[in-house]
Structure formats: structure tokens, C-alpha cells
Amino acid sequence: MRRINVIDSAFLYLESRQTPMHVGGMSLFEFPEGAEPQEFMAGLDELYRSFEELKEPFGEHVATGMLGPLGPKYWKQDDNLDLGYHVRHSALPKPGRYRELFGLISRLHSTLLDRNRPLWEVNLIEGLQDRRFAVYAKYHHAAVDGIAALRMTESILSADPETRVDYSPLSREAHENFKQRRAGRRKRKAEVPLDDSAFKQVSDVLSEAFGLTGKSLEIAKAYAGTWLGMGGNLSVPWYRVPRSALNRQVGGARRFVAQTWKAERLETIRQAVGCTSNEVVLAMCSGALRRYLLNHGELPERSLRAMVPVSVRTSEDFDSSNAVSTITANLGTRHADPEQRMETIMNSTRAGKALLEGLSSVQASLYAGVVHSPMLLAGLLGVGDRFPAFSTIISNVPGPREKRYWNGAPLLGTYPASAVFHGFALNITLISYADQLDFGIIACRRSVPQVQRMIDYMEEALVELEAMVDA
């Protein structure tokens, strides 16, 4: 058995029927020209079902030690692996629109993964209009983060439509082949993965990670200054975070919606303003959230704060389950003027990045664990709605820069579906792909009603930003 580290174990302890802790998403494909749909889908189904040598931990289930459920957790080889259980084949009812597709994925994303089995499922979905099909996959957050999940999808994709692969994206073969391809492009010194040994003593952690006389003091002063009203543009968890409709207790049912925007529209704004692409994304989401809450009569006086994950995964790190830190972004939603919202976002994100500057990936991950452990505890105790550390989560994951194919089938888009939990009823994640940005929005069906309108509000917010730079 292999012990599951502290960071990954947190996602297992947080999980309940109301708060499934899996991530994943939907990839949308078009059947290759001349391919017979049923035959092609049967071939993909066979690829997933025929491989038993899977990448860790997808051939393992969660086990406990002598201390039982409250003690350390372990990955244990599953001797009764049933790939037929994990790989499902579904068909949409007619007319096979995106409405039916999103409804199916909403239901699939609402159910817990079976703890007695390896923590993943794949659904091959046919019946879409225009000779299209979808693949919905979900993996427990203890096993992968968003970037690791995307890399598994990328492992079976090619820039050449003539390329064919005969292995599953969850197979050891796919993992090793992908590592070799990426290793040939970039070479950087790998860092030692974070493990439980780093948590032996708090003093050791701080000393090793930050240096008690260096970065740790800088971070401590920055946080103390923020709470004393002298933090400048820095936003931190809990400080002046308003309670809103997004910070309610969540039920088990989810609603999933997705949309694609051309990257060039956001790039035009980025160049005109002199900001980053992610800051444009945050401004787009800020405008949409402001509209949503205004139309429901629930816009708080203070601006919403977003947790923005920042990947600290090195170019050679293909094996870590989770390698992520975070910053807090002030979304400026109290401002009606989009220029003011953009300025607020830019100031807060840059202050947050400055705080992480100079930390290694291990140190940044550790920093996130130390800073956000109270948030995890609040979630575990079910009081995250009463003491929200953030208003929502907005994550930007870089994907392939060129068009990709799976055994000749063009990838049209890939749309993430992340996790929500008590106090965080809405999650917005996007993946950049070729010349487009693919947004996936997941929300508690009860706490955030009519979330599908967020798509329209995001378009309106983008148009507003375009008008701002054209003025």
C-alpha cells in the first residue's frame, strides 16, 4: 500500500453525499469523415476496457490502516478491477442537442464515486446532432488535479489526424509515452514532491519552506497588514469577503453548462489594457456574476472575492496528484464601471502573485495548504457557508495550442467540470485550446438556480469590455 499524502487526503475527508470531491469534464469530438459512428464508438469502448496496466492510482482503491476511517489513508491495488464497471456507454435522447448533453452530464457529475473501487469513471456519449460524440470523465480530486486530468486526455491526442493509438488515456503506456514527448520539448530541474514528512513539525515546515527570517516574515507581515487595513491591494481569504447566494450550503445535485469563446476577442482586450489573459477572464466572470446577483436581488455591497488556483507543477512533474497554490482576486463587483472592475482585479492579482514570487513549487503548495487549512476544516465541519473564505472559484487551465485529434476524430472542445462544496456553490473553470477558450460552469442546482444564464451574462460582460477598449 502507498500512503496518501495530507493534501490529497483532505479531499477524501471533505467528501460527503452533498459534496462529491471529483473533477473531470467533457470532451466534444466529431466523427472522422467516412467513419461509421457505432463502429467507431465500439472501438473507443474497447480501448478503455482492454487495458489493465493502469497509471497509478487508477488501478487502486482507497484503504484505511489500523486507525480506521479517522487515520491515514492508503492507495491499495485493486485485485478485482472491473473495467466494465468504470467504462460506460450512453446515448442521448432525441433531438440530441447540447441541452440534453448538459442535462446528462449534470446528473453524472452529481453522483459519488464508489470508495470500494478505483476512483474514476468514463462515459462515452453518442446521439449528438451533426455527427458528434462526447466523452465525460470524472476522477477523484485525491487522485488528480485539473492539469493532471487534462494531461491524461492529451496523452491520446495528436496534431496529426492520421495518427492512431491503441491504448487508454488511463493506461501506463499512455502516461509514459506522454512523459517522453513532453520531456523532449522542455527540460527543467524537477523538484522533490511534497509528502507527509514535510508536516512533521510546524517549525520545520516554516523554516524549510520560507526561511524564518526571509519570505515567511514577508508573508506574515503582508497578511497582518491586510487584516489591519494596511494591506494595500492584497486580498486574502476571509478578509472582507461578503456572504452572497454563492456561499450557501450545497445539496448533492449539480447543474453543468458550457460555452466556447474565441481567444482573439480576449486577446484584443489584453493588449489594449496591458494586462494578462487571466485578468481578462476574471473581468469577464466578474461582470457576469454582478449581473447574475443583481437580477436575483442579491448583489452584496462589498465586492466578491475569487480563489484563483495557480499551478506550481514543474514541466517534468507528471506524477503528482495535486500541485497547486492559490491567490485571492478582488473581483470589484461593487463597481458598475467595467474599467474600475478591471483595475481592481489587476491590482489584487498582482499583489497576490508578488506574495508567491520566489517560492518553489513545493513551497507554494505548502503555503496554500497552511493558509487554506482553516477553509478545509470549515468545509469538513459543514460551516463553510457561515464563514466563507472566498465567494467563488475561477480557474484557468492551459490546454493544447494546436488542433488535436483522437484516432482521426477532431477535438472540438474540452469543458471542465470541477467541484463545489459548502460555502462555494459555484465553480468556473476554463481550458485554453487552439484558438478558443472552453468554459465549464458547475453549480449546486438548488443554491444557484438558473445558472445557465451565466453564459449569456458572460457574453454581455465580454461585449462590455470590448466597448471599453474601443471607446
Say whether pLDDT at 125 is over 80. Answer: yes
**Residue 431 near residue 416, CB atoms below 8 Å:** yes
Is residue 78 classed exposed, middle or buried when 0-12, 13-18 and 19+ CB atoms within 10 A define those classes? Answer: middle
Residues in contact with 471: Cβ distance below 8 Å, sequence separation at least 6, in sequence order: none
**Which of 330, 107, 125, 121 has its CA nearest to residue 232?**
330
**What pLDDT, in 10s, does the model give residues 128-181?**
999 999 999 999 999 987 778 888 889 999 999 999 999 899 998 888 888 887
End-to-end CA distance of the chain: 62
**What pLDDT, in 10s, does the model give residues 266-289?**
999 999 999 999 999 999 999 999
Residues in contact with 129: Cβ distance below 8 Å, sequence separation at least 6, in sequence order: 95, 96, 97
Say whether pLDDT at 30 is over 90. Answer: yes
Q: Which CATH architecture has domain 197-470?
A: 2-Layer Sandwich (3.30)
Q: What CA–CA distance (Å, rounded) separates 250 from 446?
A: 7
CA 370 to chain centre: 20
Nearest 10 degrees: Cα torsion 266, 150, 26, 249: -80
Which pLDDT band, with edges at 50, 70 and 90, does 334 fall under?
very high
* Lowest pLDDT segment from 53-67, 330-344, 402-416: 53-67
Per-residue 3-state assignment (H helix, E strand, C coil) for 183-211: HHHCCCCCCCCCCHHHHCCHHHHHHHHCH
At 218 the pLDDT is 60
Is residue 48 classed exposed, middle or buried when 0-12, 13-18 and 19+ CB atoms within 10 A define those classes? Answer: buried
Look at 60 and 375; give whichever has higher pLDDT: 60
Backbone torsions φ then ψ of 393, nearest 5 degrees:
-125, 130
**What pLDDT, in 10s, does the model give residues 354-370?**
776 666 655 665 666 66
**In 10 A of CB 130, how many CB atoms?**
8
Say whether pLDDT at 321 is over 60. Answer: no
* Lowest pLDDT segment from 98-102, 120-124, 236-240, 249-253: 236-240
Q: Would residue 141 show up in a list of annotated catalytic residues for this protein?
A: yes
**In 10 A of CB 87, how many CB atoms?**
22
Nearest 10 degrees: Cα torsion 115, 120, 125, 130: 140
Amino acid identity, position 406: W
At 380 the pLDDT is 61
For 80-108, what is the mean pLDDT?
Answer: 94
β partners of residue 428: 394, 441
At 407 the pLDDT is 96
At 216 the pLDDT is 54
Per-residue 3-state assignment (H helix, E strand, C coil) for 214-231: HHHHHHHHHHHHHHCCCC
**Residue 441 near residue 453, CB atoms below 8 Å:** no
Where do the CATH 3.30.559.30 domains begin and end in the chain? Answer: 197-470
At 123 the pLDDT is 97
Catalytic residue (one of 140, 141, 372, 422)? 141
| Grid coordinates belonging to 447 | 443554491
Q: Which CATH architecture has domain 2-185?
A: 2-Layer Sandwich (3.30)
* Lowest pLDDT segment from 8-12, 109-113, 336-340: 8-12
Where do the CATH 3.30.559.10 domains begin and end in the chain? Answer: 2-185
